[in-house]
A = this chain, B = another copy of it.
Amino acid sequence: MAEQAQLLRPTDDEARELARSLIRGARYMSLAVLDPATGFPSVSRALTAIDLDGVPVVLVSALSGHTKGLKDDSRCSLLAGEPGKGDPLAHARITVFCEAELVSRDSAAHQRLRARFLRRHSKAQLYVDFPDFRFYRLAPVQASLNGGFGRAYALGAEDLVFPLAADESAWLKIQNELVEKTSEAARFAQRLGLGDKNWRFGLVDPAGIDLISGDVLVRHEFQHRLDLPEDVIHYICK
């Protein structure tokens, strides 16, 4: 699964932060599943969000090829990190090997993920409640980070996913409160040097927060983990 050991650099905090930024900051990723009919690996594009613990989430139709794959075999992988200008291989990207977990429609997890997904992808409102659509959590097993030529790292689930300390509802509450805070979003964006762009806050979790402006999503990783939602308000407004 990983590159040859001698090519890998030791995994340090910088690599971990880059890995989390790539995964948590992606609006969409390439999703590879096993095609049940032929055994071929099948790669397609999926919109992504991130659960509170950092697990990537997709919303898929039962009619689509990738859902049939995930239903039949939970093994899958995601590719995050889009190239900008210049050589595409000079840009950081990460392959994350995951086990897919179907989220039952009548579960609390479904409600939580529905709210988080729509925060990022408001147009998904059009189809999120269609009866054939389901969320899958794609739980990372291990990952291969390529930070550009000669910068390869192997990561484990523990580098990417954190169990939640505070209770979920407190995070949902702060998520909702942050919607209104557009002037705080503007100030925070300015602190990050992002310029004046009509920013709003997107998803928030203990590891970081989204700033969103139209199609642009910027993920900011906190300098250290914030276990309590009120710490996020303090961090943003300090």
Contact = CB atoms under 8 A, between A and B. Distances in A.
Copies assembled: 2
Interface in A46-89: 47, 63-65, 75-79, 82-83, 85-89
B75 A40 contact: yes
A3 interface: yes
A57 to B, nearest CB: 15
A38 B89 contact: no
A1 B40 contact: yes
Interface in A181-203: none
B42 A97 contact: yes
A233 to B, nearest CB: 31
B37 A88 contact: no
B30 A30 contact: yes
B30 A79 contact: yes
A33 to B, nearest CB: 6
A175 interface: no
B77 A1 contact: no
B87 A42 contact: no
A144 interface: yes
Contact of A83 (B28, B75, B88): B28
Given A63-B7, A215-B86, A32 B37 contact: no
Interface of A: 1-4, 7, 27-28, 30-35, 37-45, 47, 63-65, 75-79, 82-83, 85-89, 93, 95, 97, 121, 123, 144, 146, 215
25 contacts: A1-B35, A1-B38, A1-B40, A3-B63, A3-B64, A30-B30, A30-B32, A31-B43, A32-B32, A32-B41, A34-B41, A38-B97, A40-B75, A40-B76, A40-B97, A41-B41, A41-B42, A41-B77, A42-B97, A43-B78, A44-B79, A44-B144, A44-B146, A45-B89, A85-B215
